[in-house]
Amino acid sequence: MPPFQCGVTAQYRFAHEGHDRMKILRNEYDFRCWFIKDFRKLSNSDFLYLFPNELELEQIEMMPVDYPCMVFVFENENIHEKGKPCFVYREQLELWIKELQCPA
């Protein structure tokens, strides 16, 4: 069982500057949020990007969505600052889930 829960989304305005793989800037979208209690594999800086502090957790709504990237709200201060949201590409998320489901 992966150490997170999923299924809620947050609508917010984000701007991530200077990365060629992320083309969507300063637009409002819905993203699925994964609240992670202890997910130590999330350390690949190639896939993790900090979100601005504009995200207000009170605005999170129960609403399923399907986008190519996922929002993460970390509860483990050892990974990122506690409560600071990040996102990761779906392909990397699926790899991490497979690793959790098939431990060495």
Q: β-strand 69-74 against 4-14: which pairing, if any? A: unpaired
Beta carbons of 34 and 64 less than 8 angstroms apart: no
In tens, the pLDDT along 9-27 reads: 333 323 333 333 333 322 3
**Other residues' Cβ atoms within 10 Å of the Cβ of residue 19:** 9
Question: Residue 53: exposed, middle, or buried by beta-carbon count in 10 A (0-12, 13-18, 19+)?
Answer: exposed
Output the average pLDDT for the chain: 42
pTM reported for the whole predicted model: 0.28
In tens, the pLDDT along 45-74 reads: 333 333 333 333 333 333 233 334 455 554
Q: In Å, what is the CA distance from 82 to each residue of 35, 46, 79?
A: 11, 20, 8
Residue ranges of domains in the chain: 4-101
Beta carbons of 10 and 53 less than 8 angstroms apart: no
